[in-house]
Amino acid sequence: MGELAEMTINGLLCQECGGYLEDFEEPGYPRTCEDCLAYEKNKKRPTKDCTPS
Ligand SMILES: [Zn+2]
């Protein structure tokens, strides 16, 4: 597993866009940044599981 993936899993990077979280902390679990959270709230796009390929 790469370093970026580890940083994402530790919560340092957003699991959606890969950007740094605003508090630069590593709680030890994957997190999503405020931008991505706001995006998901405003645009309720279907999850990949529901999208026919
Ligand atoms: Zn993000």
Is residue 34 in a domain? Answer: yes
Is residue 53 in a domain? Answer: no
DSSP string of the chain, one letter each residue:
--HHHHHHHTTSBBTTT-PBPTT----SS-B--HHHHHHHHHS-PPPGGGS--
Number of domains in the chain: 1
Q: What angle do CA 12, 17, 23 make, to 5 degrees?
A: 30
Distance 16 CA to ligand 1 centre (A): 5
Distance of alpha carbon 39 from the chain centroid: 12
The domain of 20 spans: 3-46
Give me the pLDDT at residue 6, please. Answer: 97
Is residue 51 in a domain? Answer: no
Is residue 27 in a domain? Answer: yes
Give me the pLDDT at residue 27, please. Answer: 98
Give me the pLDDT at residue 43, please. Answer: 81
Distance 37 CA to ligand 1 centre (A): 7
d(CA 3, CA 46): 30
pLDDT in tens, 1-53: 699 999 999 999 999 999 999 999 999 999 999 999 999 888 866 666 666 66
